[in-house]
Amino acid sequence: MKVGDLVKLSPRKTRRGRPYEDKVGVVTSIVGEDASQPHSFVEVNFGGGIRWTFGSHELAVISEGG
């Protein structure tokens, strides 16, 4: 997963307090990317100024950015 990828919440993710409809977002930054860690945290912009931080394992890549 990298900056610019289109993502949506993984179907396995519990959406506590978040809408259940499929939302597509763009990865805007990656925090703590390290080969020694199994998961990194990514910030995703879902439009309208809404940004959420997720573990990379909580997202599914729809399309890879250029």
Read off the pLDDT of each residue in 7-12 and give the average, rounded to a whole number. 79
Torsions phi, psi for 56 (to 5 deg): -60, -25
pLDDT at 63: 87
Q: How many residues does the chain have?
A: 66
What residues does 14 pair with on adjacent strands? none
Q: What is the pLDDT, as a whole number, of residue 53?
A: 87
Where do the DSSP E strands lie in the chain? 6-9, 25-31, 41-45, 51-55, 59-63
C-alpha span between 39 and 53 (Å, rounded): 13
8-state DSSP, 3 = T
Q: What is the pLDDT of residues 10-53, one digit of tens each?
A: 766 666 666 656 778 999 988 876 655 666 889 999 887 778 88
pTM (2 d.p.): 0.73
pLDDT at 39: 67
